[in-house]
Amino acid sequence: MATQTITSEQNKNVWGGGNEPFGASYGKLMMWFFLLSDALTFSGFLTAYGLIRFRFSDVWPVPESVFTHFPGLEGDHPLLYVALMTFILIMSSVTMVLAVNAGHHMKKDKVTLWLLLTIVGGFIFLGSQAWEWYHFIKGEHGSVKVENHVYYIADENGHRVSLAQLVHGIEHAHHGDHHEKFTDSQVISAFLANKDMRLKDPGKVGKTYSRSESESLIKKSSVVQGANLKENEYGHTLFANFFFFITGFHGFHVFSGVVINIVIFANVLLGTYERRGHYEMVEKVGLYWHFVDLVWVFVFTFFYLV
Amino acid sequence: MAHVHDEKKMVKTIWIVFFILLIVTAVEVILGIIHPEPLMVEVMGTRLLNHIFIVLTLLKAYYIVAYFMHVKYERKNLIWTLTLPTLILIPYLTFIVLTEGSYMYKIGF
């Protein structure tokens, strides 16, 4: 191959160009340097999340009580859905590396198959993320807030009570329409009428307030249901902001990855790389795709697990 | 180029790495759901469980970078060019930012 002839000429022509000091082509090297800078960008975001989380460590929402939905299942299933998303992304990383491997051996049919499966995996991941965002935005329990501080409703033992349970009674389980919108006065009067109800801080510490403290707070409160950039029912405003920003930025990477994969896939079908004599383009895009998986591994740990 | 290993052997390696990643993720999820009591003790500012999560995450990251991203088979100079900046800058940034975060919590800034 070309590399061999270059190595033999290397001694007389070291500075004459045409060498590959890293043993990697220009394109591959540039992809690596891009990924390096992107890794630092993501670590900037995740450490910023860490800073804010450490700053508000006593009231920061507990992730496993925020992300508890699983399609088709009732009740709380913490981590299960993100675990599935992680599995999907790792799986699509495997199909990608199999496509790269097939490319090394110039097997067009295998490259086509594995690349197609990678694209499918990417779409499934994006769909899963959309589903998760939908539930995050819509919310589940509902909370109240007083001057930007979010409080959960809880019973006297500190167990969380949803707004629907507060207004319609405790036995009103998660059936039916639990996305009903409640007004401030509805919630305040229901809270004042039920002497068992308390207010509670979000977070691991989760301080429960006394009945008299709760009563004076609830009178000044307004209802928060669901999440947006200005307020969210899970706790601190920045929690949702970081969630949208970090998973959104990662999701945007996945989306770009899928688009690039489709372009490469079309080129594989057209035989572009067959004519070129190598499938290095699949390898370069593969690097990007694995990087997206790598970032998710860290997002999974620092956003959902820790 | 470094791609002299035969196809079958490489495919086998890929699937082994996949199962390692799968098992590590499964362990993380199980630990995250059951929260074993002995692992909830505070060690160096956070729960022991969180340290375990971080170690397992770095393990997964190693397998993805080394095998899927093929870094293990690259030349030494490329390996160091890629790993040294990340291994120095990211822990450094994490350290100063998290230290600052706990200080801000302490003084209520």
pLDDT of residue B45: 75
Q: Which of A217, A201, A233 is CA-nearest to residue A58?
A: A201
pLDDT of residue A177: 53
Closest partner residue to B97 among A50, A83, A283, by Cβ?
Answer: A50
Q: Inform me whether the C-beta atom of residue B51 falls under 8 Å from chain A C-beta atoms.
A: no
Residue range(s) in chain A whose domain bears CATH number 1.20.120.80: 43-69+76-139+237-305
pLDDT of residue B5: 61
Residues 6+ apart with CB under 8 A from B66: B72
Chain A residues whose beta carbon lies within 8 Å of the beta carbon of residue B69 = 287, 290-291, 294
Phi, psi (5° rounding) for residue A93? Answer: -70, -40
Q: Inform me whether the C-beta atom of residue A207 falls under 8 Å from chain B C-beta atoms.
A: no
DSSP 8-class letter at A234? T
Percent of chain B with pLDDT over 70: 95
CA distances from A270 to A25, A40, A100, A108, A110 (A): 23, 36, 17, 10, 15
pLDDT of residue A76: 79
CB within 8 Å: A52 and B101: yes
CB within 8 Å: A93 and B68: yes
CB within 8 Å: A39 and B105: no
Q: Inform me whether the C-beta atom of residue B83 falls under 8 Å from chain A C-beta atoms.
A: no
Please give the residue that has the higher pLDDT: either B19 or A72: B19
- A43-69+76-139+237-305: in CATH 3.40.720.10: no
Which of residues 59 through 88 in chain A touch B, CB cutoff 8 A? 64, 78-80, 83, 86-87
CB within 8 Å: B105 and A56: yes
Q: Inform me whether the C-beta atom of residue A27 falls under 8 Å from chain B C-beta atoms.
A: no
- pLDDT (tens, 9 = 90+) of chain A, 306 residues, equals 445 555 555 556 677 777 888 989 999 999 999 999 999 999 999 999 999 999 998 899 988 888 888 888 877 788 899 999 999 999 999 999 999 999 999 999 999 999 999 999 999 999 999 999 999 999 988 999 999 899 999 998 888 888 988 988 877 655 445 678 899 999 999 999 999 999 999 988 888 999 999 999 999 999 999 999 999 999 999 999 999 999 999 999 999 999 999 999 999 999 999 999 999 999 999 999 999 999 999 999 999 988
pLDDT of residue B1: 43
Query: Can you list the alpha helix ranges (DSSP code H) found in chain B?
Result: 7-34, 48-63, 76-107
For residue B2, pLDDT beyond 50: no
CB within 8 Å: B93 and A43: yes
List, for residues B64-100, the tens digit of each pLDDT value.
999 999 999 999 999 999 999 999 999 999 999 999 9
pLDDT of residue A1: 46
CB within 8 Å: B25 and A83: yes
What average pLDDT is seen over chain B? 91
DSSP string, A132-180: HHHHHHH-SS-EEEETTEEEEEE-TTS-EE-HHHHHH-TT--S-S-TT-
> A23: alpha, beta or left, given left = phi > 0 and alpha = psi -120 to 50?
left
pLDDT of residue A12: 60
Q: Which of A125, A128, A203 is CA-nearest to residue A160?
A: A203
Dihedral over Cα of B24, B58, A298, B16: its sign: negative
CA distances from B107 to A30, A111, A286, B11, B104 (A): 44, 57, 46, 55, 5
pLDDT of residue B37: 87
> A79: alpha, beta or left, given left = phi > 0 and alpha = psi -120 to 50?
left
CA distances from A26 to A14, A21, A31, A111, B31 (A): 17, 10, 9, 23, 43
